[in-house]
Amino acid sequence: MNVERVADELAIQALLNRYARAVDTKDWDLYRSVFTDDAWIDYSSAGAVTGALDDVVDWFAANFGVIVWSMHHITNVEADIIGDTATVRAMFYNPMQLPGMSGPSSCGGYYHHELVRTPDGWRSRGLREENVWFVNPPTG
């Protein structure tokens, strides 16, 4: 493994960490910094929004504020890096407190990112969440 590869993997891990912090702190400007302006994002497996970056940020800003807290953990990051592009698959575990629920909920699955190297570093031009399981889901 060469130094450039290690640097890319560390930068990609940092990007995913920034993604988790942005969602958990509801910092939508920070969230935007993870993506290219033309990114396509798909949260449909969790019953949430799919669309362009602006549409997703608008949806999060309008709907995610009701989540009392969440704490994303992103692990097992696998990056297939070819030049200035990378296909990334990473596991996520997300405990959270949903409104009206007596106890915590949690979900897990995979994030599938299509990354590109930009002058500002790695950015996601596509994210598809693959939600595999959900414990104590909201009712209604």
**The three-state (H, E, C) secondary structure of 17-30, written as one string:** HHHHHHHHHCCHHH
Greatest Cα pair distance, the chain, in angstroms, is 52
Has residue 57 been placed in a domain?
A: yes
Q: pLDDT tens digits for the chain (140 residues)?
A: 699 999 999 999 999 999 999 999 999 999 999 999 999 999 999 989 999 999 999 999 999 889 999 999 999 999 999 999 999 999 999 999 998 888 999 999 999 999 999 999 999 999 999 999 999 887 75
Has residue 36 been placed in a domain?
A: yes
Has residue 126 been placed in a domain?
A: yes
- pLDDT at residue number 16: 98
Residues spanned by the domain of 57: 3-135
Has residue 38 been placed in a domain?
A: yes
Has residue 48 been placed in a domain?
A: yes
Residue given tokens 């949430």 in the structure block = 48
Joined together, the tokens standing for residue 29 give 């400007």
CA angle 133, 129, 71 (to 5 degrees): 70
Q: Which CATH number covers residue 8?
A: 3.10.450.50
Has residue 140 been placed in a domain?
A: no
Give this prediction's pTM: 0.94
Give the total number of structural domains in the chain: 1
Residue given tokens 């890319």 in the structure block = 8
